């Protein structure tokens, strides 16, 4: 991919039952272009941890990596631009970081985009997810919404890499979905949303609609499955860098 003209600190937030490792190929691409990359593990399998605790874990990781410069000093010369990226369920955490820290850009990747006061557990019904999946499944022969994670999440990921992703997966505690999303509005920062062309978990057309309804912007399409960071890491990294050029 073409190198960007600006070096940034990318905070890459994983989805439900996942780990920061899922971003390792994208992180390699970004680091090769001079960016700093932070890929925290969220306490997603901890029943005492809700969304605020998820945000605490990310903020702690950012502070540990930057010496708290990002949190304490917003002067242009004091830090690299901070770009926060949320994948899938990470879409509920990423804007919390954009609300807490001086963020240059917020990017949703195949992500759940929250509404103020919405419980993550209610997101599915509020967005019409079930009907959208049924509609797409009728077109693709039941691939969308398939119960096999190698089909719905990891379709298109090389076999050995998909197996490693499954080996590293964790549980997702109910606590993270039970409480309302705490912000009264989306952070007032430049925001983008990327949808994966072959996503069999969050169909691309479905997420385009949700993006328009909730953010008032048009989503951008990238190649890959729901876990595009593993199926198409170079293309995803290039898309994340796009607005930095």
Give pLDDT tens digits along the chain (245 positions).
444 557 899 999 999 999 999 999 999 999 999 999 999 999 999 999 999 999 999 999 999 776 554 544 444 444 468 999 999 999 999 999 999 999 999 999 999 999 999 999 999 999 999 999 999 999 999 999 999 999 999 999 999 999 999 999 999 999 999 999 999 999 999 999 999 999 999 999 999 999 999 999 999 999 999 999 999 999 999 999 997 65
Answer whether residue 192 is part of any domain.
yes
Answer whether residue 85 is part of any domain.
yes
CATH of the domain at 179: 3.40.50.1820
What's this model's pTM, rounded to 2 decimal places?
0.92
Answer whether residue 3 is part of any domain.
no
Answer whether residue 1 is part of any domain.
no
Q: Give residue 236's domain range.
A: 8-244
Q: Give the chain's largest Cα–Cα span.
A: 54
Number of domains the chain contains: 1
Answer whether residue 207 is part of any domain.
yes
Residues contacting 217, CB < 8 A, separation 6+: 191, 192, 193, 211
């Amino acid at each position: 991919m073409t190198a960007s003209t600006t070096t940034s600190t990318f905070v890459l937030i994983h989805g439900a039952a996942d780990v920061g490792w899922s971003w390792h190929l994208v992180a390699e691409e970004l680091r090769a272009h001079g960016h700093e990359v932070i890929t925290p593990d969220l306490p997603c399998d901890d029943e005492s941890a809700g969304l605020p605790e998820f945000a605490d874990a990310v903020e702690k990781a950012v502070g540990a990596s930057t010496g708290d410069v990002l949190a304490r000093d917003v002067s242009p010369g004091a830090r690299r631009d901070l770009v926060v990226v949320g994948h899938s369920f990470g879409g509920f955490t990423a804007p919390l970081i954009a609300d807490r820290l001086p963020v240059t850009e917020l990017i949703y990747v195949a992500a759940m985009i929250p509404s103020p006061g919405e419980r993550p557990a209610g997101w599915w019904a509020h967005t019409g997810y079930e009907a959208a999946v049924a509609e797409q499944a009728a077109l693709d022969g039941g691939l969308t919404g398939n119960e096999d994670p190698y089909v719905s999440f990891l379709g298109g990921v090389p076999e050995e890499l998909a197996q490693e992703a499954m080996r590293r997966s964790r549980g997702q505690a109910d606590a993270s979905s039970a409480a309302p999303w705490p912000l009264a509005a989306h952070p007032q920062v430049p925001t983008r949303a990327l949808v994966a062309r072959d996503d069999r978990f969050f169909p691309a057309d479905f997420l385009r609609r949700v993006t328009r309804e909730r953010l008032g912007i048009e989503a951008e399409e990238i190649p890959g499955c729901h876990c595009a960071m593993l199926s198409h890491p170079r293309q995803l990294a290039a898309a994340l860098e796009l607005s930095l050029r």
